[in-house]
Amino acid sequence: MKILVVNPNTSASMTNAIAETARRAASPGTEILAVQPDYGPEAIDCAMESYLSAVAVMDRILTLGEPYDAVVLAGFGEHGREGVQEIVDVPVLDIAECSACVAQLIGRNYSVVTTLQRSVGAIEDRLRLAGLADRCASVRSCGLSTLDVDRDPAAAMEAIVAEAERAVRADHAEVICLGCGGMAGLDEAITARVGVPVVDGVSAGVRLAEAVAGLGLGTSKVCTYAPPDPKAITAWPLSRHIAAADR
Amino acid sequence: MKILVVNPNTSASMTNAIAETARRAASPGTEILAVQPDYGPEAIDCAMESYLSAVAVMDRILTLGEPYDAVVLAGFGEHGREGVQEIVDVPVLDIAECSACVAQLIGRNYSVVTTLQRSVGAIEDRLRLAGLADRCASVRSCGLSTLDVDRDPAAAMEAIVAEAERAVRADHAEVICLGCGGMAGLDEAITARVGVPVVDGVSAGVRLAEAVAGLGLGTSKVCTYAPPDPKAITAWPLSRHIAAADR
Amino acid sequence: MKILVVNPNTSASMTNAIAETARRAASPGTEILAVQPDYGPEAIDCAMESYLSAVAVMDRILTLGEPYDAVVLAGFGEHGREGVQEIVDVPVLDIAECSACVAQLIGRNYSVVTTLQRSVGAIEDRLRLAGLADRCASVRSCGLSTLDVDRDPAAAMEAIVAEAERAVRADHAEVICLGCGGMAGLDEAITARVGVPVVDGVSAGVRLAEAVAGLGLGTSKVCTYAPPDPKAITAWPLSRHIAAADR
Amino acid sequence: MKILVVNPNTSASMTNAIAETARRAASPGTEILAVQPDYGPEAIDCAMESYLSAVAVMDRILTLGEPYDAVVLAGFGEHGREGVQEIVDVPVLDIAECSACVAQLIGRNYSVVTTLQRSVGAIEDRLRLAGLADRCASVRSCGLSTLDVDRDPAAAMEAIVAEAERAVRADHAEVICLGCGGMAGLDEAITARVGVPVVDGVSAGVRLAEAVAGLGLGTSKVCTYAPPDPKAITAWPLSRHIAAADR
Amino acid sequence: MKILVVNPNTSASMTNAIAETARRAASPGTEILAVQPDYGPEAIDCAMESYLSAVAVMDRILTLGEPYDAVVLAGFGEHGREGVQEIVDVPVLDIAECSACVAQLIGRNYSVVTTLQRSVGAIEDRLRLAGLADRCASVRSCGLSTLDVDRDPAAAMEAIVAEAERAVRADHAEVICLGCGGMAGLDEAITARVGVPVVDGVSAGVRLAEAVAGLGLGTSKVCTYAPPDPKAITAWPLSRHIAAADR
Amino acid sequence: MKILVVNPNTSASMTNAIAETARRAASPGTEILAVQPDYGPEAIDCAMESYLSAVAVMDRILTLGEPYDAVVLAGFGEHGREGVQEIVDVPVLDIAECSACVAQLIGRNYSVVTTLQRSVGAIEDRLRLAGLADRCASVRSCGLSTLDVDRDPAAAMEAIVAEAERAVRADHAEVICLGCGGMAGLDEAITARVGVPVVDGVSAGVRLAEAVAGLGLGTSKVCTYAPPDPKAITAWPLSRHIAAADR
């Protein structure tokens, strides 16, 4: 089985880190193909960047020219899953949703610890639309941006563990979801210090993708996620129209 | 007061129709500036097209180079409002949300009549995230695409009126919202035949934009809709990087 | 356009203050007619007073004998809107609902700062029935009654600003609604100290009334808000039966 | 124990019928005191009438001058309970809420069959605010006004039974609540024809009043339902100021 | 009237205490028959124990061989009510649900103070399924197990009163429900110190059972709670198959 | 990896069928251990039977004496998951929850087609408590009991397909979950005739168990699902006390 894991931002180092996490989580025999968009932000911390990356991700997938058995979108709370579901037939999974799914299977409720406060709303919205918010005890911010987390993992660790402890004590969370791709690898430290299971989104996404594809299931094409009807779309895919010199 | 009305698709004829509706609805003294994106679909009927148009709309607004007092996004159920709220300071209103706001002020509940069944979910999601779904009696599809409505207004009228009648009879809707920019102008026929007030989104958007801007209020910049932090964004705004030959 | 603004209590000084706020908020060309009931409480802080004022307001409107284009009910969380919607044809707006509408258009969520803790429930109920509670982060009490706010505006200011700060810090509110007619004029101080937009209900009500009436829309009469069926009603309107000596 | 049962309208024949039902439902040793307001509508089918009756009921209770152990408000979906809770210390029960309470104790869910479609919303609202809407399968209208039901009980019976059958078949209701004081006595016919238990509101109210008063409990006075603070209230109680000639 | 009160655990001292509370709460003329299961835990603090006691309770009731007019299940948040509703015809009431019912009739909202934090979820779940969670301000743990409460009533009293005070101050609870059978008798102390009415579940259950049975109503048998269809059930009732030597 | 699949009823033929389905769904290298309880009903169609089977399932697991990596409970809507989560450390998955999880990953919403109407409520309750009801379009009954489905698979097929078609047409379901263990194997027929993906619960359970156990995660033991505290439990496990002759 081959799983396409898409880092929604343009940071090659994050793509590599995500690929590594994905490979560690995958079953023997699963191949991971990790890609990133050709344009868009180097990290995603707001709606403007999220929408742009959603389009860049769809573009990257449309122009990939290689087969795969499932797609994992490695942005936590980012836009775009529904769009990708329309343009491919294989299962398309989003790591925020996969984290919540797994968390609900192993605990009564869960909290998400994410980066900036301004991203809390976006994650709450995505979980809500996915029908997975009901047992979310809280979405909490550790006060650092995605780039901060990337730059200083040790400081990030402290901030994230502190917030996870608050979620367990104050919100009675029984599972913690790491609300940012760049947080992979902190699971053990949090479990050790807070005493609850920790779900990493990329790992959860890869394993659930194996499960769904293994069941022989794909996205329902009967209505919402049917392929787009043919129509005139100016300059799409955009990547083919962005001047070579810019890239 | 000058209101920027943005048609999210690339159809010049729809931009003109929207501009006309907006001018008819505006107070004396309000100037309407109607624009459309440089790239993207000629009509929007799915998530892929909606995301693409959200980016193209942000791009168009970022590169406009002209002042205005408020923005009205003229897509019903389309993505993008939060992104535009981050990049401008004036109020940014979405016609789906404005329709629901006005409908709730004049009736106990409301139904939306939109184009294809596949768009129903997107509209439900947008109303839900906007906190305006609670008094929505139903979102109903008339079975025609945006382009169908544009091409054969007489047939569309029949289909829309029939669905509005069902909403009133079966769902006890007390107000009907026209769930597609291309439906402007059908209000009177529906009111005449179904006996309930009808809200046109573009008109509602223009009047609410006047109201909010007139109150001296702009988007709250304290958290979610603060301006994006500076960071490297490859090829953004995209319009400046799409090869001249393509346009 | 002429807007009837109804102070639900019998305090002439509050009626004057409300009229002044309404005139300041109105567009050029809008005329404000401010009235108060003939009977009922001088301020409204509980359900008993709220129900009484609802009847006194309907009575005042029924016996007014003067045309207008829209009604704004200037009580925050008070009962009565649905009753007035039945007895007049023009749009009838309630300032609690208008505040929430405007707040939702400019921020992800909002908090209300009101007078006494005992009024919190009434406001939550009204917002909930209006379908506007979903994005309400909190309704908070500043601990002062309506009369306290009226008597000592400087002390009230401090209490209200302090509570608004708590709403922003603890509840992550992005907009503050002033939950009492007597609080008009505090907007600037709160915005200056707390950094979020502040919505005054009377101002919001006037501008939304202009918007809805300007769209040519009135209350839907198809079901819930149809005129009352003719029947025997003892001593109604009550004002005509209350002994002259009492007034 | 003495229970004050208040018919919210001014129809003496309905007061008598309610008193009779209440007496039939009461335990041995319980005394029923049935009263009606001095002013207001002869039947209640809309919000205007409901608000007026709420005030007239509070007025009647304030001026009663006689002790009792609990109050049962015999209007289904009418306003006013919270106001009465503020002005008396004994338990105050509303028949819509009591019907739902009892129904939930004996079935998985329940439907209400009421009079006109325009009253459906008022009942839904009251159940919702009372926290009892979650297991309400539906509120259905039989198409007859309160006065129609009063005038032609045989025709009303047919219409109500037909609607109850629809609730059971289409909404899977397991209990039916009679959503109008004038419907008392139809229980047996519906149970016989539809096969589900039927709850009459006045009977449920009397028995629950006995239960709550028997437990030695009264309304919590700690916050929302504390007695009104003293203040100037023009012409209150209104009944003392309505000119003698009018009565 | 004879009411069967079932202590779900196997502690004879708790059965006696429950019987005493039930008798004190009952109307004159009501007979209380208190029983306990033949097998299962001596106290119930988790789901495993709760499920086991649900079966033991059904078993005890099936093999009782004595008539009664209503059943009160005296576990707070325990499983089993729906099962008992299927196997008997008379009303079956659960004390968690009865507490919430009564609390809602006398206050705007209520909080539950229960034993261990791990039981909070079970109580929230039961109230939610019963459609009674909407006006629940909080379910709070006093940190003691059921056996702790039983062993040291004085220490329990302090812990429970402290938590009730927090519920009133922080959650604005207006009524407190004692969330454990073993807490009966603390009502007065809490009311004295916290100033709000306190509902004891067993007492509420007995009085509501009298009310529902007094109305001549039983569980609806039309669908969910119809008697089980005949089928092969190995070793049921279990009590008849548990070896004599074990008992 | 070894997965323990528990048929909650005592029918050996159903245990065999479930084992077969589980083995077909499992990844290469996964071993399936299928067991059934020692006592309880041969099929489960009501709450009484469901509670009994929950206890019998816990009993069977407690007395198994063999290691495994995850547990799959193969009853759709049955009670018991939380109890098993307390008594084992490995992940414990319920097929109703797993079906909904997988369905939500591949479609906007889903419907469940189950056996009798009386089981609809139990399934709705389980999905709701699991936080998975939000995107459930409907739970529909095909009108046949579990034993009927087992006895006449051809007739069952027709009834189930017909109901699935109704779910797709009337409720706009995009995925169908088979709401009964005995329905495994109908997926292809429904997909062929209705055009939507079909999720079989046992298969989904096995694949998700592999995923969660593969991630190295187990049930959170921090609060709700901690092991039961030691205490006296009469005759537990029951299987050791049921007289040998009975078995």
Put simply, whether A172 touches E (Cβ < 8 Å) is: yes
| A194 shares a domain with A100 | yes
**Which residues from chain E sit within 8 angstroms of residue A172, using beta carbons?**
117, 120
Q: Tell me whether residues F222 and A195 touch, CB distance under 8 A.
A: yes
Put simply, whether E120 touches A (Cβ < 8 Å) is: yes
Min Cα distance A202 → chain B (Å) is 23
So what's the pLDDT on residue E244? 57
Chain B contacts in chain C segment 88-107 (CB below 8 A) = 91, 93, 97-98, 101-102, 104-107
Top pLDDT among B247 and A24 is at A24
Min Cα distance E234 → chain D (Å) is 28
Put simply, whether D108 touches E (Cβ < 8 Å) is: yes
Closest alpha carbon within chain C to D247: C235
| F124 shares a domain with F87 | no
Number of C/D CB contacts below 8 angstroms equals: 162
Closest alpha carbon within chain B to A52: B55
Chains B and E: 3 or more CB pairs within 8 Å of each other: no
Neighbours of chain F (3+ CB pairs under 8 A): A, B, D, E
Top pLDDT among C181 and E43 is at E43
- Determine the Cα–Cα distance for residues E183 and E177; give it in Å rounded to an integer: 10
Residue B245 has pLDDT above 70, yes or no: no
**Which residues from chain E sit within 8 angstroms of residue F129, using beta carbons?**
125, 128-129
- Determine the Cα–Cα distance for residues D25 and D132; give it in Å rounded to an integer: 23
Res. E246 pLDDT band, cuts 50 70 90: low
SS3 of residue A73 by DSSP: strand
Please choose, from the candidates A197, A122, A128, the residue with its C-alpha nearest in 3D space to the C-alpha of residue A164: A197
Of C98, C104, C225, the CB nearest to B130: C104
For E131-169, the three-class secondary structure string (H helix, E strand, C coil) is CCCCCEEEEEECCCCHHHHHHCHHHHHHHHHHHHHHHHH
Of the residues F172, F174, F175, F196, the best mutation for testing chain B's interface (the one with the most B CB atoms within 10 Å of its CB) is F172
Closest alpha carbon within chain C to E135: C121
Put simply, whether B188 touches C (Cβ < 8 Å) is: no
**Which residues from chain F sit within 8 angstroms of residue D108, using beta carbons?**
121
Lowest mean pLDDT, pick from A126-140, C214-228, C232-246, E151-165? C232-246
So what's the pLDDT on residue B183? 77
Phi-psi region of D143 (alpha: psi -120 to 50; beta: other; left: phi over 0): left
Put simply, whether C58 touches D (Cβ < 8 Å) is: yes
The ipTM, to two decimals, is 0.97
Q: Tell me whether residues D174 and E108 touch, CB distance under 8 A.
A: no
Domain count, chain F: 2
| A143 shares a domain with A109 | yes
- Determine the Cα–Cα distance for residues C55 and D238; give it in Å rounded to an integer: 11
So what's the pLDDT on residue A246? 54
Q: Tell me whether residues E58 and F51 touch, CB distance under 8 A.
A: yes
Put simply, whether D172 touches F (Cβ < 8 Å) is: yes
Mean of pLDDT over chain C: 94
- Domain limits for position B107: 96-200
pLDDT digits (tens, 9 = 90+) for E77-120: 999 999 999 999 999 999 999 999 999 999 999 999 999 999 99
Min Cα distance B142 → chain D (Å) is 25
SS3 of residue B68 by DSSP: coil
**Which residues from chain C sit within 8 angstroms of residue A120, using beta carbons?**
172
| C196 shares a domain with C121 | yes
| C76 shares a domain with C24 | yes
Closest alpha carbon within chain E to C117: E172
Top pLDDT among A56 and E246 is at A56
Tell me the pairing of strands F233-234 and E40-41: antiparallel
Chains D and A: 3 or more CB pairs within 8 Å of each other: no
Asked which of C165, C180, C200 is the last residue of a domain, the reply is C200
Amino acid at D39: Y
| D110 shares a domain with D77 | no
Min Cα distance E164 → chain F (Å) is 22
So what's the pLDDT on residue F244? 57
| D222 shares a domain with D168 | no
| C91 shares a domain with C208 | yes
Put simply, whether D43 touches C (Cβ < 8 Å) is: yes
| D190 shares a domain with D113 | yes
Neighbours of chain E (3+ CB pairs under 8 A): A, C, D, F
Tell me the pairing of strands B110-114 and D198-200: unpaired
Residue D245 has pLDDT above 70, yes or no: no
So what's the pLDDT on residue D246? 55
Pair of tokens at residue F90: 């490995």
Of the residues A108, A134, A171, the best mutation for testing chain E's interface (the one with the most E CB atoms within 10 Å of its CB) is A108
**Which residues from chain F sit within 8 angstroms of residue A226, using beta carbons?**
none
Min Cα distance B169 → chain C (Å) is 11
So what's the pLDDT on residue B212? 98
**How far does CA D77 lie from the centroid of its chain?**
7
Neighbours of chain C (3+ CB pairs under 8 A): A, B, D, E
Of E41, E225, E228, the CB nearest to F233: E41
Handedness of CA D79, D81, D82, D88 (dihedral sign): positive
Pair of tokens at residue E16: 């006696």
Residue C30, in any domain of the structure:
yes
Closest alpha carbon within chain D to C47: D83
Chains C and F: 3 or more CB pairs within 8 Å of each other: no
Quick one: which H or E segment has residue E82? helix E81-87
Min Cα distance D29 → chain E (Å) is 11
Domain with residue F186: its CATH number is: 3.40.50.12500
So what's the pLDDT on residue C246? 54
Tell me the pairing of strands A176-179 and A110-114: parallel
| A190 shares a domain with A111 | yes
**Which residues from chain E sit within 8 angstroms of residue A108, using beta carbons?**
121
| C188 shares a domain with C112 | yes
So what's the pLDDT on residue E169? 95
Amino acid at B106: I
Give me the percent of chain F exceeding a pLDDT of 90: 87
Q: What is the mean pLDDT of residues B126-151?
A: 94
Min Cα distance A141 → chain B (Å) is 12
The most confident of A187-201, C69-83, E139-153, by mean pLDDT: C69-83
Res. C181 pLDDT band, cuts 50 70 90: confident
Pair of tokens at residue F158: 């027709």
Burial C89-109 (b: 16+ CB within 10 A, else e): ebbbbbbbbbbbbbbbbbbbb
Asked which of C164, C185, C200 is the last residue of a domain, the reply is C200
| A75 shares a domain with A61 | yes
Of A101, A212, A214, the CB nearest to F106: A212
So what's the pLDDT on residue F137? 98
Of A38, A86, A241, the CB nearest to B47: A86
- Tracing tokens 């007019």 back to the chain, one arrives at E69
Q: Tell me whether residues F233 and E85 touch, CB distance under 8 A.
A: no
